[in-house]
């Protein structure tokens, strides 16, 4: 068991609309966009999950944007928590277990 919780981030239509506005000839659909699971600091109840998310959403938001465009000039100026929640569905998991073999590695 890891001393982390997790949040699954799924892009919604407003995020797709932004992507398609950056690249006018884009034909992406929501089906083309992947969900991402992020490990976050451990929490025990839904109220704590929201507090943790408010602390880490900026990093998650930037990672989601960077996954499409590394040029930050293309990113929206408004990267508020409100916009983050409009652009992404979130699923919280307070229990994370590791059943893999070997050490966990960061491949960045």
Mean pLDDT of the chain: 92
Q: Are strands 88-93 and 36-41 parallel, antiparallel or unpaired?
A: unpaired
Residue 46's pLDDT is: 79
Residue 101's contacts (CB-CB under 8 Å, 6 or more residues apart) are none
Strand-pair partners of 5: 40
Residues composing the chain = 108
Residue 103: which pLDDT band, with cuts at 50, 70 and 90? confident
Residue 105's pLDDT is: 78
Task: Give CA angle at 94 (32, 65), nearest 5°.
Answer: 35
Residue extents of the structural domains in the chain: 4-93
pLDDT tens for each residue of 68-94? 999 999 999 999 999 999 999 999 998
Measured from the Cβ of residue 5, the count of other Cβ atoms closer than 10 Å reads 21
Residue 36: which pLDDT band, with cuts at 50, 70 and 90? very high
């Amino acid at each position: 068991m890891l001393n982390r919780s997790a949040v699954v981030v799924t892009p919604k239509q407003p995020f797709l609309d932004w992507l398609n506005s950056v690249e006018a000839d884009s034909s992406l659909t929501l089906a083309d966009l992947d969900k991402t699971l992020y490990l976050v600091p451990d929490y025990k109840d839904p109220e704590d999950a929201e507090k943790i998310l408010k602390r880490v959403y900026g990093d998650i938001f930037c990672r989601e944007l960077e996954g499409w465009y590394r040029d930050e000039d293309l990113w929206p100026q408004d990267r508020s928590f409100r916009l983050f929640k409009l652009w992404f569905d979130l699923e919280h998991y307070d229990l994370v277990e590791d059943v893999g073999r070997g050490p966990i590695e960061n491949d960045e």
